[in-house]
Amino acid sequence: MTTHAPVTTSAGRTGPVRAGRNGTGAVPKAKRKVEGIYYLFLLPSLILFTLSITLPAVIGIFFSFTNSIGFADWDFVGPINYIAAFSDPAILQSYLFTVGFAAVTVVVVNVVAFLLAVGLTSRIRLKTALRTIFVIPMVISGIVIAFVFNFLFSNSVPQLGQSTGVGWLSESILANPDLAWLAIVIVTAWQAIPGTLLIYIAGLLSIPGDVYEAADIDGAGKVAQLTKITLPLVAGYVVINVILGFKGYLNAYDIIVGLTNGGPGTATRSVAMTIVTGFTSGDYAYQMANATVFFIITVGIALLQLALTRGRNVL
Tell me if 21 is assigned to some domain: no
What is the CB neighbour count within 10 angstroms for residue 279?
A: 16
User: Given a cut of 50, is residue 12 above it in pLDDT?
Assistant: no
Confidence grade of residue 1 (pLDDT, cut at 50, 70, 90): very low
Domain CATH for 102: 1.10.3720.10
Q: How many domains does the chain have?
A: 1
Tell me if 236 is assigned to some domain: yes
Least confident of 39-43, 115-119, 162-166, 181-185: 162-166
Tell me if 106 is assigned to some domain: yes
Tell me if 63 is assigned to some domain: no
Least confident of 28-32, 101-105, 178-182, 229-233: 28-32
Give the mean pLDDT of 108-124: 90
Question: If you write DSSP's letter for every residue of the chain in order, what string do you get?
Answer: ---EEEEE-TTS-EEEEE--TTSSS--PPPPPPPPHHHHHHHHHHHHHHIIIIIHHHHHHHHHTTB---SSS---B-TTHHHHHHHT-HHHHHHHHHHHHHHHHHHHHHHHHHHHHHHHHTSS-TTHHHHHHHHTGGGGS-HHHHHHHHHHIIIIIHHHHHHHHT-GGGSS-GGG-TTTHHHHHHHHHHHHHHHHHHHHHHHHHHTS-HHHHHHHHHTT--HHHHIIIIIHHHTHHHHHHHHHHHHHHHHT--HHHHHHTTT-STTTT--HHHHHHHHHHTT-HHHHHHHHHHHHHHHHHHHHHHHHHHTT----
Tell me if 110 is assigned to some domain: yes
Point out which residues pair with 315 in neighbouring strands.
Answer: none
pLDDT for 87-97, tens place per residue? 999 999 999 99
Residue 49's pLDDT is: 92
Which one has a higher pLDDT value, 15 or 239?
239
Residue 167, exposed/middle/buried by CB under 10 A (0-12, 13-18, 19+)?
A: exposed
User: Given a cut of 70, is residue 7 above it in pLDDT?
Assistant: no
Tell me if 298 is assigned to some domain: yes
The average confidence (pLDDT) of the chain is: 85
Residue 153's pLDDT is: 93
User: Given a cut of 50, is residue 312 above it in pLDDT?
Assistant: yes
Give the mean pLDDT of 249-271: 92
User: Given a cut of 90, is residue 150 above it in pLDDT?
Assistant: yes
**What's the first-to-final CA gap in the chain, in angstroms?**
47
Q: Which domain holds residue 292?
A: 81-309
Confidence grade of residue 290 (pLDDT, cut at 50, 70, 90): very high
Tell me if 265 is assigned to some domain: yes
Tell me if 203 is assigned to some domain: yes
Least confident of 24-33, 245-254, 296-305: 24-33
